[in-house]
């Protein structure tokens, strides 16, 4: 699905979260691109990876609580303080979004992201994949891998490991459950 053109939106870093206060702008982000999580009062909360992606693409401006415009490097540093894997997750998120997928958090499924097929929207269809972003060279125990595969299988999704190398290149590996 080709993402509809979204005019530049204003968001604010407020109490550590990114909020789009304007209801019309919040609706356009959510309806046209499936970005964010709707809040009461017509507001929208953006995830750090969504914020960085939209900021990098020139789709949003982010202001701090004093009204000062924040740059990509400022926000990425702030997000990395709270989550050392923020930029690793961002690189995978941006890669998947650039391929036309809709991505939402996969936290309740034990992964970084849940991914919807091109053309499908959260709430109207079920995600097909869980994606976990990892740096190249990470070591897993067989138990950790089996746990991830079993969890994905139990919710009828495939698990993909997005391995990010030192150059920022991403390779996706799918693991499946085989019964003897």
pLDDT on residue 5: 67
Phi then psi for residue 86, to 5 deg, are: -55, -45
> Is 116 among the residues known to form the active site?
yes
CATH number of the domain at 86-175, out of 3.30.565.10, 1.20.120.400, 3.40.1350.10, 1.10.1660.10?
3.40.1350.10
- For the question of residue 153 being annotated catalytic, the response is no
What's the pLDDT score for residue 3? 54
**Sequential pLDDT tens for the chain (180 residues):** 445 566 799 999 999 999 999 999 999 999 988 999 999 999 999 999 999 999 999 999 999 999 999 999 999 999 999 999 999 999 999 999 999 999 999 988 889 999 998 888 888 889 999 999 999 999 988 888 888 888 888 888 999 999 999 999 999 999 887 777
List the catalytic residue out of 35, 93, 101, 116. 116
What are the residue boundaries of the structural domains of the chain, listed by start? Answer: 9-82, 86-175
157: annotated active-site residue = yes
Instruction: Please write down the HEC assignment for all residues of 24-72.
Output: HHHHHHHHHHCCCEECHHHCEEECHHHHHHHHHCCCEEEECCCCCEECH
Backbone angles phi, psi at 36, to 5 degrees: 80, 180
Pairing of strands 60-63, 9-14: parallel
pTM value is: 0.90
Catalytic residue among 37, 68, 71, 126: 126
Report the CATH superfamily, name and number, of domain 9-82: tRNA intron endonuclease, N-terminal domain (3.40.1170.20)
């Amino acid at each position: 699905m080709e993402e509809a053109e979204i005019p530049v939106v204003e968001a604010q870093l407020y109490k550590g979260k990114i909020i789009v206060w304007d209801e019309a702008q919040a609706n356009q982000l959510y309806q046209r691109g499936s970005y964010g999580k709707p809040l009461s009062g017509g507001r929208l909360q953006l995830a750090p990876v969504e914020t960085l992606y939209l900021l990098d693409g020139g789709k949003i401006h982010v202001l701090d609580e004093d009204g000062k415009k924040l740059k990509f490097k400022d926000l990425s540093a702030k997000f990395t303080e709270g989550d050392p894997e923020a930029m690793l997750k961002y690189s995978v998120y941006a890669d998947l979004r650039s391929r036309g997928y809709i991505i939402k958090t996969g936290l309740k499924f034990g992964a970084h992201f849940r991914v919807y097929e091109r053309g499908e929207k959260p709430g109207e269809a079920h995600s097909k994949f869980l994606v976990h972003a990892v740096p190249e060279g990470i070591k897993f125990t067989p138990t950790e891998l089996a746990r991830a595969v079993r969890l994905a299988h139990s919710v009828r999704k495939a698990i993909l490991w997005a391995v990010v190398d030192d150059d920022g290149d991403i390779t996706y590996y799918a693991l499946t459950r085989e019964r003897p």
